[in-house]
Structure 1
């Protein structure tokens, strides 16, 4: 039998997991950045202090990099620590983007966290980089800071480049030599990473159109996508492999396009979204049976100026992923829109009515993707779900899961529609299958022992 304390612990860990998946400490539609950061800081302090083993284990979940970095910083700053923490931290660092990791190392240096574990992790991560010379050019000050913090002494050209870059008349490493030559040779800058070459181009007075045309072959996939519109205005075409993009990032790109552009490129964009969704579904494609989705495109799905259209992009990405996972699928947008490609944030949030429409067909699974601010009329969604669970489907033949892409700073959790339905935070659509699995713990059918076993299993597989 589980005790009351066990139930509280289970709820606390699930609450923290939702926050760590959704919140990045940035402004949201209903809360400012300061509120988000303050709320997150309290949660990290609370969970770290009360459940240190489970706090570390959440690194194995699909939490975002912002919270992963906070967890790692807190674990490294604590004396002692579990022996398995270092392996889990190293695994998570390997998954994070290099700029995020370098920022974490700089924050550790500013905080004075320089114990043996920290130095070993920094050393091993730098040693595992596929091209540290490339990093030294692209993130020079950050690499220099990390090397100093870990008490490392790079030998040869790399050490000279970091601490005395003009001490050599020539470098044998191509990227280092290109950086040296780019100070006086315009042609050399096109052998550098885009962000570094951009600065040299401005210094040499090279026009934007000429620069983009010549640097295009060296652009990364994300850089091509980010620059596609601005490059076209300068008369330069930067072809991006849209189908290879992560699903939510691709959805964000689609939503950033003007309505007429989406119409003109409809075939290309839909094909890319479906290909990305099929890749994310993998072997599970077509195995989920009958699925219905209620997708939030109300005005609050705009997000905020710093997370522009992020909640709507998550809903659009989930639409295409659920379509790929399901044997039979029906997607219902709050606005009643029939064409997902033309989704835009508009109008109120009549969740209750759309949930009724979705339940009418009695699907095997209903997925609700919404920030949970049901307001047309307020509370109808919760009442619909209560009556459905207690009166119409007490056996739970229709599985219902609410996925929320927005952290509610005031509630220290994602906003829930009803205690009768499990809610999980979501950031990337690719995490949807795992989140549907995690949501069962919030439903009350499984308890602390199962949750601990789930987290330990996830950690052991990392």
Structure 2
């Protein structure tokens, strides 16, 4: 049996991990941005100071990109607090996590490190290695020009090596592009020369990445509809998603290939469509969601037995201006994933609706009533996806779960887990429904199987040793995957 000190330490680390999964420092339905930042910054400082190895190891977990970048920054800023062995372990984790982060996020991190005057040898080496591994330096130079210039200066890269290729004419050309673009009248690299020509030639902007071409289009006074339709082949899948509202406003045709889209992102796209459009495209959208769920489930598809889910679609799933409908999108994606994982499946939405595709934020949160319906189904697994604000009537869900665990199912024949997509800044945690039911933060439904495993540590019966062993195993898997990926690229 774990000691009380171990249980407290395990709870501290789990608080941080749940926050790092759910919070992005942005406004939520019940807390504003300053509250989120203040709460999150405190947790980062507390766990880094008291549990530094586990703080670094959380880079291997399913935390979001915002917190991954914060962890990297805090570790590099406080390198003097770590032992040599800890610095070596941190360096491997940082390099592996940076390789997975989106390039804009990494360039913002590098700018933050420069502003904070973090310029030790290890930091410069990490920056040089990341830049050297970039697959297309010319694309980075055009698309993230300010970020690349900042990183090159901060890492003390000579002009001939700023492309990451170790020198040569292309490296010198890239150096000129970044630091003295007027020096050359022509660039041999097509993308760099397209950027030069786009200043005075409208046709050249359609050879550029969408985000760069968008600025040139405004400069040249090109109409939004004409620009979107012509630049569409140059857009990434995410860019196509982001411009859908603008495309509808300007009646531009920007097609989206739903095949291969990640499950939670696809759910967000579906919820952004008008209800009439969803109904008209029912077969297409449902087929795409189910296909994404089956890809995510993989070998586990159909292996979870009899599953019931209580899914929150109350008014609070509206989210915020920065995160519109994000809690509902997570619930919708979890619904389709659980359907794929289950042998038999019963979904129960808090609103009582039967049609998941037409889900929209509505009404109070009668979790207790839905839990009674779910437990009557006698499931092997019961998954609750909710922000935990049970209010119709208040507290019923916690009482149902307490009585169920204590009186009706003390042998734990039914596996219960609560996944919460919203960080409660005031309590430094994701809100729990009952002490007897494990709770884990969730942001992407794709992480659901791993989070169900992590949630067992939140029941308060396992200590820091068990949690550390779990995290060590995840670190080994994380670093092993990165090594395999790098070998495949070579």
TM-score normalised according to structure 2 size: 0.93
Q: Deviations over 1:44-76 (max 9, x none)?
A: 110011111111111110000111111111100
* Structure 1 equivalent of residue 255 of structure 2: 239
* Structure 1 equivalent of residue 95 of structure 2: 90
Contact 2:7 2:460 in 1 (8 A): no
* Structure 2 equivalent of residue 120 of structure 1: 125
* Structure 2 equivalent of residue 65 of structure 1: 65
* Structure 1 equivalent of residue 332 of structure 2: 316
CA distance in 2, matches of 1:389, 1:233: 52
* Structure 2 equivalent of residue 134 of structure 1: 139
CA drift at 1:213: 1.9
* Structure 1 equivalent of residue 379 of structure 2: 363
Counterparts of residues 14-53 of structure 1 (less than 5 Å): 14-53=14-53
* Structure 2 equivalent of residue 330 of structure 1: 346
Q: Deviations over 1:87-120 (max 9, x none)?
A: 1001100111111111000001001111111101
Contact 1:228 1:237 in 2 (8 A): no
CA distance in 2, matches of 1:311, 1:211: 33
CA drift at 1:235: 3.7
CA drift at 1:292: 0.4
CA drift at 1:447: 2.5
What secondary structure does 1:400 align onto? strand
CA drift at 1:250: 1.0
CA distance in 1, matches of 2:115, 2:244: 37
CA distance in 2, matches of 1:221, 1:404: 28
Contact 2:11 2:460 in 1 (8 A): no
* Structure 1 equivalent of residue 159 of structure 2: 154
CA drift at 1:78: 1.2
* Structure 2 equivalent of residue 198 of structure 1: 214
- Residue 370 of structure 2 is aligned to residue 354 of structure 1: yes
CA drift at 1:399: 0.3
CA distance in 1, matches of 2:119, 2:12: 31
What secondary structure does 2:181 align onto? coil
CA drift at 1:445: 4.2
* Structure 2 equivalent of residue 390 of structure 1: 406
* Structure 2 equivalent of residue 376 of structure 1: 392
CA drift at 1:231: 2.2
* Structure 2 equivalent of residue 307 of structure 1: 323
* Structure 2 equivalent of residue 446 of structure 1: 462
CA drift at 1:270: 0.6
Give structure 2 stretches of 5+ with no counterpart: 161-171, 480-490
CA drift at 1:3: 2.2
Contact 2:17 2:63 in 1 (8 A): yes
* Structure 2 equivalent of residue 144 of structure 1: 149
CA distance in 2, matches of 1:316, 1:213: 31
CA distance in 1, matches of 2:247, 2:29: 31
Counterparts of residues 6-17 of structure 1 (less than 5 Å): 6-17=6-17
Contact 1:281 1:325 in 2 (8 A): yes
CA drift at 1:79: 2.8
CA drift at 1:230: 2.7
CA distance in 1, matches of 2:79, 2:125: 15
What secondary structure does 1:245 align onto? coil
* Structure 1 equivalent of residue 184 of structure 2: 168
What secondary structure does 2:382 align onto? strand
CA distance in 2, matches of 1:205, 1:341: 40
* Structure 1 equivalent of residue 488 of structure 2: none
CA distance in 2, matches of 1:349, 1:182: 53
How many positions carry a matched residue from both structures?
Answer: 462
What secondary structure does 2:426 align onto? coil
CA drift at 1:233: 4.1
CA distance in 2, matches of 1:99, 1:79: 24
CA distance in 1, matches of 2:180, 2:469: 52
CA distance in 1, matches of 2:441, 2:157: 40
Contact 2:2 2:461 in 1 (8 A): no
CA distance in 1, matches of 2:224, 2:59: 42
CA drift at 1:184: 1.1
- Residue 281 of structure 2 is aligned to residue 276 of structure 1: no
- Residue 438 of structure 2 is aligned to residue 419 of structure 1: no
CA drift at 1:211: 1.3
CA drift at 1:302: 0.5
CA drift at 1:153: 1.6
Contact 2:310 2:348 in 1 (8 A): yes
CA drift at 1:240: 1.1
The CA RMSD over aligned residues, in Å, is 1.0
CA distance in 2, matches of 1:254, 1:245: 12
Contact 1:73 1:108 in 2 (8 A): yes
Q: Deviations over 1:185-216 (max 9, x none)?
A: 11111000001101111111211222122111
CA drift at 1:229: 4.0
* Structure 2 equivalent of residue 339 of structure 1: 355
What secondary structure does 2:46 align onto? helix
Structure 1, 210-219 or 83-92: larger mean CA deviation: 210-219
